């Protein structure tokens, strides 16, 4: 269950990201704020790649992996642009839960495209989380 530790770290970092981004986007065009964040992520990520010597795997990447990673990057960029604009226009306490509505979409896409199983417990949890996110709108 090592994935759970990383998932929890991701949740904590995402929470911190929302607050720091809300503070940083004040008086800054949201696209510029996204670009600055992206440069920081780019530099830190490549530093980690070289530190962990993972750059050696570059020649072995398949065309399929490269295409899907590029498409994932485009989707990430679109999400970040929308997220920063939403933070600029609304309170972080409302924006972050709505952003997490990606959860039911992810589970649906994982079931359809990846063949991941659905259970009643998973469905119930997603429904409750979705209701909770929607309750934050008003």
pLDDT single digits (tens) 16-68: 988 999 999 999 999 999 999 999 999 999 999 999 999 999 999 999 999 99
- pLDDT tens, 6-27? 888 988 888 898 899 999 999 9
Instruction: State both tokens at 51.
Output: 């530190």
Cα(9)–Cα(3) distance, rounded to whole angstroms? 10
Block residue for tokens 């998973």: 122
Q: Are 124 and 109 in contact (CB under 8 A)?
A: no
- Angstrom CA distances, 130 to 104, 122, 126, stand at 7, 12, 6
Residue 6 belongs to what H/E stretch?
Answer: helix 2-24
pTM: 0.83
Residue at token pair 């009643």: 120
Do 24 and 92 meet the contact criterion of CB atoms below 8 Å apart? Answer: no
Local structure of residue 136 (DSSP, 8 states): T
The per-residue pLDDT for range 69-125, each reduced to its tens digit, is: 999 999 999 999 999 999 999 999 899 889 989 989 999 999 999 999 999 999 999
User: What values do phi and psi take at 114, rounded to 5?
Assistant: -105, -5
Q: Where are the domains of the chain?
A: 2-90, 100-138
């Amino acid at each position: 269950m090592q994935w759970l530790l990383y998932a929890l770290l991701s949740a904590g970092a995402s929470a911190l990201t929302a607050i720091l981004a809300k503070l940083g986007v004040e008086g800054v065009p949201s696209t510029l704020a996204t670009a600055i964040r992206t440069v920081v992520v780019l530099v830190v990520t490549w530093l980690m790649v070289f530190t962990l010597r993972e750059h050696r795997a570059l020649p072995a990447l398949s065309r399929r992996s490269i295409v899907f990673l590029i498409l994932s990057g485009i989707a990430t960029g679109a999400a970040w642009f929308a997220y920063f604009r939403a933070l600029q226009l609304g309170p972080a306490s409302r924006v972050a839960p709505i952003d997490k509505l990606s959860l039911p979409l992810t589970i649906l896409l994982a079931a359809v495209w990846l063949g991941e199983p659905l259970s009643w417990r998973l469905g119930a949890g997603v429904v409750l989380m979705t209701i909770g996110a929607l309750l934050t709108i008003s």
